[in-house]
Structure 1
């Protein structure tokens, strides 16, 4: 069934004031039922305290593992909840054994937060971080990857949907090649889960890390991690507390044998309940239906921008995500963002530090990033396009 943007906009309080919200790649607008779930639980905590309030929702919290297992195509025992995509990604990465002369492979669109962690750890242990070239479309080249793989490659980091452009990287080809060489693959699904299919049973990835606040439309401060259960025995599991492990004797401990080993005991119960509700909402709409709706509305924006003289669209790839990046000739990206904000259009800036390799390769320092979700109507996208045309005219007349 096709998603009606008017109907989903009615479910979204942030759409009721007429704003054109084009920043779901940053932090999306939550549906009313997600916000109500969070606020209602916070109120309950004020009435009876956090422990009793959590105990009342124990079944709902446990059901969340099955909800995300359905979303990510895995077993409930392979799901962990964290406080961010970063925390999820770090937990997986730090568990992978690395030693001197080991090799880590990344793509040209690697995210800055991931890159910093990999470079620092590689330096500490004497490993190397190497870049897999892209093909002419901008996607990572599976052929180039296979040429780089050998027995010293322990880990391949793959960003599914880069933060600074619309491409979608091929996943299964990368995973299969890495596995043939004995390497593990951590798939960064931060910008893909919630807008396109990103499933363990389809991709074969060993880990998938993601967040609630972006395309899933959940609360900030929430994240999730898929970890393939069959590899847990081969990992370093030393950053755990008494939730991820057990103090079995004064001098002995035992780690869990499921993905909850990556969780910490303390967390925001209200936010986790909101995250679970956001995933339920997405599943009810249907991931294929969401994908088609996002493809349609982002395509309308991308094509409309490409038709405006003085605007350059910077998206790469053969298949596109809902992220649309562009610049306006003669107008710095922050000024474009500010001008649109004055007209109640929300976009953001993507800067060089977030995806340094790709941005430097293309000679870019900052670009405007727009990311419409399925609750954005065509009329609101057309309004944004009119405003961008106005910015172009203003620049040509001497001021944005």
Structure 2
């Protein structure tokens, strides 16, 4: 079945519900997307009720909608509501899973070249404090994660495969289903960092076969900052120990013992922002209404167009690799600091970000990169925006070239 593309009328309607598009060309969706009006209205409406009724009273009034957050997230990733834990960000969710496994001296963890700085800190902490060993699965010459090397790396000491679905500073996508099949075959725990993929492309945890999936709301989901979720499969919930607990996490307690809840709420704290929780649910519903296949098709279409145009600009080098690439486009300008590029684009109301070496340390060091410019497109972006981006970047390159050739001709 062919997925219908988003039409020009669809895009216009989506942009009308995204007020920020009238002010900026937002190519920083891998950092934080522009929130749609329904999400903003959901948050502000709840805050108004809190102000009028009181915090606990507003929560009681919205109890059904708050509980429904688990249901809509489960629909998004093909999970069960009982497998969802609400967290403040992907890093929090990832740490709950990684540090809760109970890694022991000699346990081996297999990782990719694309690990984000938070994950790297966790791995290094694990080496120093748990005594684990780390094995990096190398990419091939095309930038693809090597399934062959993964199979060869597995030993009887391998306790965990922990990889990032889409890296922070390159546009490649890992073959997460193939990785999951190998993890399942060898009965190895599988932790997937999906902070850049959820909201960008379809994700089915049943097909991936991951035990844990960490997600943020602010990126491609277009949810408010300070939101996210962790998926912990039902079969793996007993395999991780919550390191911190409050009364929200237990079903019963007496003077001698307590009993954890039989679901993902055992990893939560009671106190969280109810307004942004509803905002997260609305953002998920918004994505589901559009359709993840349609979103992914649109993002790939825009990203391919932008990559093709970037390749035509002298002194610009694309830094993305892999056979499957996403809406994150990374590049460098020869002999130019990426921050300078970002600042020039910002003067023309174009938002991009800079990926520093520390953000994706293994990948950046391997390719001898200090930084990259990261332009990340979303479905509400347009071809006219990508064309203006190319025109502006070309002007920057030309101005630099002129100033270097005639250093006293420009002030």
Query: Does residue 1:182 correspond to 2:191, yes or no?
Result: no
Query: Does residue 1:147 correspond to 2:155, yes or no?
Result: no
User: 2:353 corresponds to which residue?
Assistant: 348
Contact 2:39 2:282 in 1 (8 A): yes
Question: Which secondary structure state, in structure 2, belongs to the residue aligned with residue 398 of structure 1?
Answer: helix
Deviation at 1:7, TM superposition (A): 2.1
Unaligned runs of 5+ in 2: 405-409
Q: Could you state the TM-score of these two structures normalised by the residue count of structure 1? A: 0.97
Contact 1:151 1:182 in 2 (8 A): no
Distance 1:241 1:142 in 2: 41
User: 1:289 corresponds to which residue?
Assistant: 294
Contact 2:96 2:243 in 1 (8 A): no
Distance 1:88 1:234 in 2: 15
Match of residue 333, structure 1, among 323, 334, 338? 338
Deviation at 1:331, TM superposition (A): 2.2
Question: Which secondary structure state, in structure 2, belongs to the residue aligned with residue 355 of structure 1?
Answer: helix
User: 1:227 corresponds to which residue?
Assistant: 232
Match of residue 391, structure 1, among 387, 392, 396? 396
Distance 1:258 1:141 in 2: 35
Match of residue 377, structure 1, among 382, 405, 408? 382
Contact 1:350 1:368 in 2 (8 A): yes
Deviation at 1:247, TM superposition (A): 4.8
Distance 2:396 2:239 in 1: 55
Deviation per CA, 1:323-373: give whole Å up to 9, x if none.
000111232100000000000000010000011111010010101000010
Distance 1:389 1:308 in 2: 6
Q: Could you state the TM-score of these two structures normalised by the residue count of structure 2? A: 0.95
Distance 1:80 1:244 in 2: 11
Query: Does residue 1:2 correspond to 2:2, yes or no?
Result: no
Distance 1:63 1:125 in 2: 38
User: 2:26 corresponds to which residue?
Assistant: 21
Distance 2:403 2:311 in 1: 23
Deviation per CA, 1:45-84: give whole Å up to 9, x if none.
1111111111111100111111011101111111111111
Contact 2:169 2:355 in 1 (8 A): yes
Distance 1:173 1:244 in 2: 34
Q: What pairs with 1:247-262 in structure 2 (closer than 5 Å)? A: 247-262=252-267
Distance 1:233 1:43 in 2: 39
Aligned-residue RMSD, C-alpha: 1.2
Match of residue 367, structure 1, among 372, 383, 387? 372
Q: What pairs with 1:29-40 in structure 2 (closer than 5 Å)? A: 29-40=34-45
Deviation per CA, 1:294-342: give whole Å up to 9, x if none.
0011111111111111111110110111000011123210000000000
Distance 1:170 1:397 in 2: 44
Contact 1:237 1:255 in 2 (8 A): no
Distance 1:356 1:345 in 2: 27
User: 1:270 corresponds to which residue?
Assistant: 275
Q: What pairs with 1:132-143 in structure 2 (closer than 5 Å)? A: 132-143=137-148
